[in-house]
Amino acid sequence: MHRRKSTPDEVAALSSDLRLRIIRLTHERPLTNKELADRLQKDPATTLHHVRKLVATGFLEALPARAGNRGAKEIPYRSTGLSWELDNSENMVAVGQAMLHAFLGEVADVGVGEVDMTRLVVHADPEELKRRLEALMRELAEEPADPEAPRVAIYLAVYPGE
């Protein structure tokens, strides 16, 4: 699959671990700003700032408003999937740091005991390994969601094993 290069605004949006977590949380289920703030244990004003940045750059879309508690108007937001379509290789330091911090925050939320981890050092062509892993990730992303299966998150890092 060919991914297009990220724009500077898109890179800036993806260079925040909080924004990456918002994208993940809204991938399959739209959430309001209050729901996001509660899940992320952040102030709603802080969360709204990040939500607006994600909407402005096309990573989130606002859905029709709904009535919340006490009749208050709530706007649910859903991820557009744009982050998966971008090539951030030229900006991997900034985006990669945000990805790592988002991963660490998510592990802290669920507890390290809930994370199935392994490490391995192999002799392999890095480009071939990357191609094969990306193909697997694309295959998983394109499979229809099974509503009975639990949601799981994958963080994958390939780095020199010296």
Tens-digit pLDDT profile for residues 84-128: 889 888 888 999 999 999 999 999 999 999 999 999 999 999 899
Q: What angle do CA 94, 154, 102 make, to 5 degrees?
A: 40
**Over the stretch 124-148, which tens digit does the pLDDT of each residue have?**
998 999 899 989 998 998 889 888 9
Cα–Cα distances (Å) from 27 to 82, 88, 120, in that order, read 11, 19, 30
Determine how many CB atoms are found less than 10 A away from the CB of residue 45. 9
pLDDT at 158: 86
pLDDT at 40: 96
Beta bridge mates, 74: 66
Domain ranges of the chain: 4-110
Looking from the CA of 109 toward its CB, the CA atoms found within 13 Å total 14
First to last CA, the chain: 30
pLDDT at 66: 87
CB 105 within 8 A of CB 17: yes
- Number of residues assigned to the chain: 162
* Average pLDDT rounded to a whole number, residues 18-30: 94
Place of tokens 């925040």: 16
Q: In whole angstroms, give the CA distance from residue 25 to residue 53.
A: 16
**Topology annotation, domain 4-110:** Arc Repressor Mutant, subunit A (1.10.10)
Whether residue 2 is predicted with pLDDT greater than 90 in this model: the reply is no
